[in-house]
Amino acid sequence: MTQTQTPPFAGPATKQSNVLSIVSFVLSALAVVILPIVFGVAAIICGGVAVSRKERLGKTALVVSIVATILGFALGYLVFANS
């Protein structure tokens, strides 16, 4: 009689999520409009963590968060310099 061996259980299939990337996009949008020092830094951190977790949208989220933070600072400067 031959015994059949079953392969070891590999666990459930992991589904890659883009949660941190999406959070980074939302924080980036807020950084353009209000408080880029707070929301921009938080967006950059979330984007960096998303890249380190190899999320599909991680690199895009990091670039968008950096650009949005710079844009938020520039718009804030223009608004308050002309006041």
* Sign of the dihedral through C-alpha 17, 31, 45, 62: positive
- Read off the pLDDT of residues 10-26 as tens digits, 9 standing for 90 and up: 655 556 788 999 999 99
- Give the integer Cα–Cα distance in Å for 47 and 69: 12
Q: How is the chain split into domains, by residue range?
A: 19-81
- Read off the pLDDT of residues 32-74 as tens digits, 9 standing for 90 and up: 999 999 999 999 999 999 999 999 999 999 999 999 999 999 9
Residues in contact with 26: Cβ distance below 8 Å, sequence separation at least 6, in sequence order = none
The residue with greater pLDDT, 6 or 75, is: 75
Instruction: Tell whether the model's pLDDT for residue 27 goes beyond 70.
Output: yes
Question: What count of Cα atoms within 13 Å lies in the side-chain half-sphere of residue 53?
Answer: 20
pLDDT attached to residue 13: 54
